[in-house]
Structure 1
Amino acid sequence: MSLKLSPADEAFRQEVRDFLATHLTADLRLSGERMTSVYADHEASMAWQAILHAKGWAAPAWPVEHGGAGWSVVQRHIFARERAAAGAPPLSPMGIAMAGPAILRFGTPAQKQFFLPRILSGAHFWCQGYSEPQAGSDLAALQMRAERDGDDFICNGSKIWTTHANVANWMFCLVRTTRGPKPQQGISFLLIDMTTPGIEVLPIVMNSGEWIQNQVFFDDVRVPVANVLGDIDDGWTVAKYLLQFERGGSAYAPDLQIRLDALKRVAPDMPELAAKLADLEIRLEVLDALESEILSAVSNGREIGADASMMKILGTELQQRLTELALEAAGPLARAWQPAAGRAGGPVLDYPGPIGDHISGEPWQAIAPLRYLNERAGSIYAGTNEIQRDIIAKADLRL
């Protein structure tokens, strides 16, 4: 895919390239190039965020008055492509791409003043408290309670599949504060300090061996009422807004295109595989056009509704298809578990570390099965793709 750029945007692209060439260390490039999941390893991600924050580029979509870059949609596309091409690690989306936009939209002046600078600097690292053992895709079935006690809520319950809760110091969380005739009513959106007494984080180890997901337990955890985002009992409104950013607030296509181009270069000369890669590239062109339209809508303050669901379906299913083709290209050198080959998105538990420097084949071949295992979850997180199809059917097809 190629962009026809104006002279100003060409100059911006060169500025981005120069910046990446100057500030990307060899270790940061390695972290980006050898990712085994959608998340870079935590230390590399935070180091890169500090560099971007110093430049004023940590939050491309935020308004300038709140410390963002205030870039146009084209500039954001340029940066996303150049970042991926250079091998820079992505930042965690939980703070800058999710909590931040929600606070910008629904936060009080005091909340914006306190949270936004700390999100930008990385002083606050966020996780998302949505899913529960009995409330996954049916999120409105959540049961975690928050009972009012003066100026605090006392929270009891648990959250599951909580990405990076093991390293986060803040959580944005949906809790049930009252019960109404509809399950979506009586839910509040809380901002919770993860150092508060009564919070316990237990690991959920993925098939790849990585500790990225967690279950979080809350036992009489006190959270100030001042930490409610939006109105009490109307957290569903905040959650629906934020889900647009989780499902459609960032682009899949730039990273997928870079990975596809790399696979085309290293894959064996097999006509059948070449045909499959060509089919994937056509579908990726469609996704890129959709993302351009969606990001334009977001940048102009329009809500994107069911388009976010469409973007999530296409993006995650193309991710999965790419990992399948990478496995096919790697062939027998794609061993099932070689943590030493990649830069994991979290600690690899019960793994003693590399024994020498040996891996089977080239690094991309050894990483292929790890990415395959991790990205099986793509069609489940942020609402399963089946649920996303239901949303599209109801909103766009009136079924």
Structure 2
Amino acid sequence: MKSSLNFDKASLANYLVIALVGLLVGGLLVSVNSERVVAKKNTNVSPQIFKQNVFADIASEVDSAVVRVNAKIKIDSKKMKRQNPFYNDPFFKKFFGNDFPKGKNGHPRIRQGFGTGFIISKDGYILTNEHVIHNADQVTVKLTDRKEPVKAELVGSDFRLDLAVLKINLDEELPTVELGNSDKIRPGDWAVAIGNPYGLNHTVTAGVISALERPLRINQGDKPRLYENMIQTDAAINPGNSGGPLLNINGKVIGINTAINAQAQGIGFAIPINEAKKVLSELKKKGKVIRPWMGVYMQPVTKEIADYFGLNSTRGALIADVMPGSPAEEAGLKAGDVILEFNKKEVKSPDDVVDLVNKSKVGKDIILRISRDGNKLFLTMSLGERPKEY
């Protein structure tokens, strides 16, 4: 990243000497153009040197609250043998050796994964990504001041948001990070990522917020993860950084490092911390995020559809299919119905229905105004809890 500062030959020479010394001692040297931060400090150190220490100060302040998360998953070797046609192939064994997921005497093989998390309360609650501990049989965390890992309990998780809350129980108050406000960040703001890339202990990288509200799809087995509102940053995020904090220049958490673009450099993604704050209490109390559910597939009303059903406009949401046993089926909704109103609120598109359902609570009675075979009807539907598989 290029600095916006201009140097004459003398100051440039001094700068190069400073940079060389910093590299020899392993320091992180990045120029931060932040007069606001400098103005707060009363120091005899030159502004240039102080700016270079901002990231080191942030790392030092939050380092003890960032933990390494280790997950152990038992893999059924018999099941893997059935799924992998090359399991006993001598040719592939020659190249891959013991990398095939098998255990001795038919016992399950243990696969280990790792990631990062951060402590959000003095009594040991930790926030991380769900994919870090997905299907884990055992989870431990490694604190910076302890040689041995500490057993962690999975308190709650949510696949859709890719969030998980862990809990460790120690007879001491633990260091914590402060949660910031991700709604106030802007492209161009500084960002600092701390994590354990590739299993290495704490690593600090810095960059800027590149963009906001990025949609992202990541294929994971037969169930893809769909992210709708990601922070994009060029601060390096590598495997093992997942679940770690993305911090602002004040050392407050603004995001949870989650993913990278494998085809490009300098493109990483983080979940906005405000998304986590919305469901944090629910994850701690109930172990999951409870979402309301109708159980329908919908599509927009096109001009052709409007003409076919005798509608005056293309407003509304056409029900393409109703899921068996869903609240919609119990309410009497059918494929071909067009939802016109949701609790007296006009429905212009399927997105309106999705938004209104998400803002409602499970068990709430909803009055729908629909069009069916050219007739206007009112139906009452009680929203259910969204099944885990949807």
TM-score with structure 1 setting the length: 0.24
Between structures 1 and 2, the one with greater strand share: 2
Q: Rg bigger for which structure?
A: 2
TM-score with structure 2 setting the length: 0.24
**Whose relative contact order is higher, 1 or 2, with alpha carbons under 8 Å and at least 6 apart?**
1
Between structures 1 and 2, the one with greater helix share: 1
